[in-house]
Amino acid sequence: MKGPGIFFAQFMGDEPPFNQFDSLCQWASELDYVGVQIPSWDGRCFDLAKAAESQAYCDEFKGTAANHGLEVSELATHLQGQLVAVHPAYAEMFKAFAPDGVTTPAQMQEWGTEQVKLCLKASKNLGLNAMPTFSGALMWHTVYPWPQRPAGLVEEGFQELARRWRPILDYADEQGVDCAFEIHPGEDLHDGASYEQFLEAVDGHARACLLYDPSHFVLQCLDYLDFIELYHDRIKCFHVKDAEFRPNGRTGVYGGYQGWQDRAGRFRSTGDGDVDFTAIFTAFTKYGYEGWATIEWECCFKDSQQGAEEGAPFIMAHMITPPEKAFDDFAGGEIDQTAVRRTLGLE
C-alpha cells in the first residue's frame, strides 16, 4: 500500500496556497503527505485538455509534484462521470458541474463522456493506472419507490447505463487505466448489489473497478469489511474517510433533509467517526492491496486545516508492513515425513 495521500478537491480555493498546484504541493508536503489525488475538473489545479494532448505538460506537472517530494496518485473525474448519466429531474442541479451552454441531460452526457475519456488519456500520459469516478444515475429517484417501480425498469436502467459506459470502459482498456467507481448514495452504483448488476450488464468488463470509501457504507449500515472480502480484486483506489451513524427518534438513514450536523449519518474528520480503520488496513494487507491510501476530508464539525494536519499521521499509524516470515516459524522445523505420520498416529 502507498501513502499517505490527500485528495485536493475539498481544499481548492481562490486564496493561496489553495489556488494553484505548486503551492498546494508545498502545503501537502509540509503536512507529510507523499501522494496527491487531483480533481481533474478544477482548472486552478490542472489543465485536463492539455494533459490529454501534451506529454510535455504531464512531465512538467509530475515534476512540480516531485519537487515537493510528492507523487501524483490519480486523476479523479467524479463530476464528469456523474454527467454521463443524468436523469432530467436532476439536470437543473447538475448544471453546476458543466460549462456554460451544457444544460440538457443529452448535452451533459456528451460532455461528460468526452471529459472522462480525456482524463483516461491524461492518466496514461502521467503513468497512472486508475481513475476514480462516479457512475451517474438514471434510477436513483426510484431507489425507495412509491408507487412501485414498473416491471423491467431496473433491468433497462442498468442496460442503458452499460450502453453509456461500455465505450468508455473499452477506451480505458486501450489506455491501460481502470475506471474506479466510487460506490456512493445518489449514484446508480451505490452498494455491492448494484455494482454487481452493472458489472453483469458490461459483461464483467476488466476495467469496471472500484474506489473503496467506508464512510458511505457506514451511512447505509452496510458491512464495509465484508465488502473488501467480496470485491477486493476490483478495488483499485481507497479514500480514507470517516463517518458516524447516530439514529434517534427523529431521524435515521433517510434524514438527508436535515443540515449535516443534525443528521443521523454524518461524515467526520478521519479518526473521529465509527470506521474501524485498523480492520480495514488489515483486510487490505491480507489481500495485497497495492494502491494508494488517500485522505478525503469532509467533516461538519472540524476545520479542514486541522483535518489535513491529522490525516497523514493517521494513515501512517495504520499502514502495515507485511511480514517476511510467519510469527511462529521458530516453532517449526524440517519436514520429516516419518515424524508427520507418527504425529498422525499412522506409524
The 10s digit of each residue's pLDDT in 309-322 is: 999 999 999 999 98
Long-range contacts, stretch 158-162, CB < 8 angstroms, 24+ apart? 158/188, 158/197, 158/198, 158/200, 158/201, 159/201, 160/85, 161/85, 161/135, 161/136, 161/188, 161/198, 161/201, 162/198, 162/201, 162/202
Region 286-297: what's the mean pLDDT?
98
> Mind listing the pLDDT tens digit for each residue in 114-124?
999 999 999 99
Rounded to whole angstroms, how far apart are CA atoms 115 and 102? 13
pLDDT-derived band at 192 (thresholds 50, 70, 90) equals very high
**Domains by residue range for the chain, with CATH:** 2-343 (3.20.20.150)
What would the pLDDT profile of 34-53 be if each residue is shown by its tens digit?
A: 999 999 999 999 999 999 99
pLDDT in tens, 231-285: 999 999 999 999 999 999 999 999 889 999 999 999 999 999 999 999 999 999 9
As a whole-number percent, the residues of the chain with pLDDT over 90 amount to 93
pLDDT at residue number 331: 67
Contact 238, 294 (CB under 8 A): yes
Q: State the burial class of residue 201 (Cβ atoms within 10 Å of its Cβ: 0-12, 13-18, 19+).
A: buried
| Residue 334 in this model has a pLDDT that exceeds 90 | no
Query: What pLDDT, in 10s, does the model give residues 55-103?
Result: 999 999 999 999 999 999 999 999 999 999 999 999 999 999 999 999 9
Is residue 223 a contact partner of residue 274, using CB atoms and an 8 Å limit? Answer: no
CA distances from 159 to 63, 163, 205 (A): 42, 6, 14
